Amino acid sequence: MQVESNEGGAQGEVERLVARPGVVSVVLVRHGQTAWNRERRFLGRTDVPLDERGRREAMVVGQRLAGLPVDRVVSSPLSRAADTARAIAAPHGLPVQAHPELVELAQGVLEGQLGAELPLRHPAFLAAWLADPGTARIPGGETLVECQARGLRALQEIAAAGRPGRAVVVVSHQMLISAVLCHVLDRSLHHFREVGHKNAAFSVLAFEAGRLVADHVHEHAHLAALGTEGQPAPGPALRA
């Protein structure tokens, strides 16, 4: 398993992994960038569309995955994910299927707020989050454990319906993807920041013997051609 790749030479490796006989591959993609990502606002389930850079990211990841043997494209119902999924599905002539359990972590009262405001506006929650991000409940939202459980349930269901030697592309969100990868990599949710995904990056999971295994995590070499224009500056880790 390759934990991270940002080298262009990874292209053939991804194709090799997906084409293995007897294995269903799940290509797990984070949606492209939105204005709220750029502004470092909490998105959660607020339906914020892709911005200009995000649309370019969706196009580029679609081109990157165009050569894979993809049978199905499944997405969170939020438009930033669904529009990214459509850019991936188009070269394969496939529809995009929405799955409600792929939606982002519900972030309650935080949605729309700036990450920089968190220490002043919600100090009690921030303290609980830093102590245990898995069980700290966002006011009006859900816990990362709950998000992880429904994400894994959805991926298991989707992968179980796949065909060996073929791929299913799943487009979702930062917090759900990080939580799922923690489980697959056998890490506690305290480490979710270490397995974060850039917008429009992807990971490849193998579904074997009824369980998900990480093959290739956080591939983002395809985004290099876009440069850094329009990207957000580094900011808080609790984001969507």
Measured CA to CA, the distance from residue 154 to residue 74 in angstroms comes to: 10
Q: Is-catalytic flag, 229?
A: no
Instruction: Enter the DSSP assignment of 238.
Output: S
Cβ-Cβ contacts under 8 Å for 124 (sequence gap 6 or more): none
52: region left, alpha or beta (phi > 0 left; psi from -120 to 50 alpha): alpha
Q: Is-catalytic flag, 15?
A: no
Cβ-Cβ contacts under 8 Å for 50 (sequence gap 6 or more): 31, 32, 33, 34, 57, 58, 79, 80, 83, 84
Choosing from 31, 122, 218, 220, which is the catalytic residue? 31
CA angle 56, 26, 164 (to 5 degrees): 130
Say if strands 202-208 and 24-30 run parallel, antiparallel, or are unpaired: antiparallel
* Burial class (CB within 10 angstroms; exposed 0-12, middle 13-18, buried 19+) of 102: buried
Choosing from 57, 92, 101, 104, which is the catalytic residue? 104
- Enumerate the active-site residues: 31, 104
